[in-house]
Structure 1
Amino acid sequence: MEGTHVRLEWPEPEVALVRLNRPERMNAFNTAMAEEIAARFEDLHRRAGLRVVVLTGAGDRAFCTGADLKERATLDEQAWFAQHHVFQRMFRAVAETPVPVIAAVRGYCLAGGFEIALNCDFILAAADARFGLPEVTRGIMPGGGATQILPRVVGEAWASRLIMTGEIIDVDTARRIGLVTEVTEPARLLPRALELAGVIAANAPIAVRQVKQAIRATRSLGWEEGRRRELELYAACVPTDDRREGMRSFVERRPPVFRGR
């Protein structure tokens, strides 16, 4: 499926590949592109049989460099807030995807583009990736979740440094602080992301969705509430055909065939 600013492909029936498609602007999102990203992900929320999403950027220069500042520079305060409402819908649509979303990052991943990646479940990066949140150098601050998500990923000190200085870090630093889970050569990035997507897609889909909910609950719940929520989600896996298939396949020494029910 082709869109003006977003391309949707299906490398496997259960794996969606979403490409941010504005390479001439380093995949910076304007209002129209943010609306399209939101709509595309909201459609994926309802997609039966979907198990994993891989999100990447078109071209070799950038994953996404955030909001298109040329457009933003023309906005008065009322229009600015109206646009940011659209951006919030986009960030939430990515974050609330019920299946895992893998960010495959090549080149620059900055500002709101970095926040899109942070709203995914984990990040794979090419050796040429660069990360930064330069909002404070433009008189604003991150508004897509970075102040809440980044401290949980890399710790409060590194999050404070990156957000307060606006500095851009290379992929080696990103790996060292735990921001990215793996670094590959640029040509290997997308195949590796799809390979990992295949590994996840082969697992029991109900269980994987429950795991995602349990992990995300750590962002809003305390220890005891989180443990209770984990048990609720765990209990929902027990009566499924997938759980019974997982046990049978182990006993029968064969790969499981999960049906998502």
Structure 2
Amino acid sequence: MTIDFTTDGAIAVITLNRPEAYNALDLAHLRALSDAVARFEADPSLRVAVITGTGKAFCAGADIGETLPLMKENGTKSLPPTIMRGQTCSKPLIAAINGLALGGGLELALACDLRVAGSQAKLGLPEIGLGLIPGWGGTQRLPRLIGGGRAVEMILTGRAIDAAEAERIGLVNKVVPDGEVLAAALDTARLISEKSADAVRFAREAMQKGFDIPLAEALDLEAALEDAALQTPGFNDGLNAYREKRRAHKNKS
């Protein structure tokens, strides 16, 4: 099985399972990844997904022997849609980065909302060394996340950085001991899963869409989404919980 899909309450765990190849993304893995995210998206009982890998790597990127020749022959857009490009997901995704996250592997992590890394993780975009550019969102998402100057250095040199530097520049949200990466990601996922699903969705939409439009338009978008949130069961429960000095109900929409 190329991708493992398990659940923990309202959390899905999507695990790349090709450790002998450092979880490199061949065509089968790309299709399975797309199917796993679609399965998560379609299940209303699931609120957050954690993506991780088995063995010594989160993901070492595209399979050089299979995927790159296919891209050369047919173009990058001929590959299956994934969250890196072509597939949307309305729910939060967390990358639990164990070991290597290189090339397409880092781009997979960049396509997630949050990133938790093990202390020995290595992250980089080495495509320039193959005469390529990061073609699964790296040139677009990395500058938005860490700023243009730092992104230019990583992309044009192909240099991989360690987890401590990744945390310092904002590439990952948290660094934990290697054996605690998945547990830490699940802890964060549980915190999010207990919040109003509507509020989480509206907040993500406001941030994602607002980033690329003028501030005045973004503020109007935010106001419209806030108005929508005010009409949801999650807001009603949250307001009542405040008045009654209790915690809001878990998983309230």
Residues 1:70 and 2:65 are matched in the alignment: yes
SS at match of 2:165: helix
In the alignment, is the contact (CA less than 8 A) between 1:8 and 1:18 conserved in 2? yes
Deviations 1:142-170 (A, max 9, x none): 11111111111111000000001001111
Residues 1:11 and 2:3 are matched in the alignment: no
Structure 1 residue aligned with 2:78: 85
SS at match of 1:7: strand
Structure 1 residue aligned with 2:131: 139
Shift of the alpha carbon at 1:104? 0.6
Between the aligned partners of 1:219 and 1:144, the Cα distance in structure 2 is: 19
Which residues in structure 2 correspond to 1:44-63 (within 5 Å)?
Answer: 44-59=40-55, 61-63=56-58
Structure 2 residue aligned with 1:180: 172
SS at match of 2:247: coil
Shift of the alpha carbon at 1:247? 0.7
Letter aligned with residue 198 of structure 2: I
Between the aligned partners of 2:42 and 2:223, the Cα distance in structure 1 is: 26
Between the aligned partners of 1:219 and 1:166, the Cα distance in structure 2 is: 27
Among candidates 93, 102, 108, match of residue 116 of structure 1: 108
Between the aligned partners of 1:117 and 1:22, the Cα distance in structure 2 is: 17
In the alignment, is the contact (CA less than 8 A) between 1:102 and 1:120 conserved in 2? yes
Structure 2 residue aligned with 1:29: 25
Between the aligned partners of 1:256 and 1:57, the Cα distance in structure 2 is: 34
TM score, norm. by length of structure 1 = 0.92
**Alignment length (residue pairs):** 253
In the alignment, is the contact (CA less than 8 A) between 1:205 and 1:258 conserved in 2? no
Structure 1 gaps of 5+ residues are none
Structure 2 residue aligned with 1:225: 217
Between the aligned partners of 2:225 and 2:193, the Cα distance in structure 1 is: 19
In the alignment, is the contact (CA less than 8 A) between 1:245 and 1:258 conserved in 2? no
In the alignment, is the contact (CA less than 8 A) between 1:38 and 1:91 conserved in 2? no
Residues 1:170 and 2:162 are matched in the alignment: yes
CA spacing shift, 1:182–1:235, aligned 2, 3 Å: same
Residues 1:236 and 2:222 are matched in the alignment: no
Between the aligned partners of 1:105 and 1:181, the Cα distance in structure 2 is: 11
Shift of the alpha carbon at 1:220? 2.5
Shift of the alpha carbon at 1:92? 3.5
CA spacing shift, 1:65–1:225, aligned 2, 3 Å: same
Structure 2 residue aligned with 1:129: 121
Letter aligned with residue 43 of structure 1: R
Structure 2 gaps of 5+ residues are none
Shift of the alpha carbon at 1:84? 4.5
Letter aligned with residue 91 of structure 1: M
CA spacing shift, 1:75–1:52, aligned 2, 3 Å: closer
- State the Cα RMSD in Å: 1.7
In the alignment, is the contact (CA less than 8 A) between 1:88 and 1:144 conserved in 2? no
Between the aligned partners of 1:247 and 1:162, the Cα distance in structure 2 is: 45
Between the aligned partners of 2:149 and 2:210, the Cα distance in structure 1 is: 19
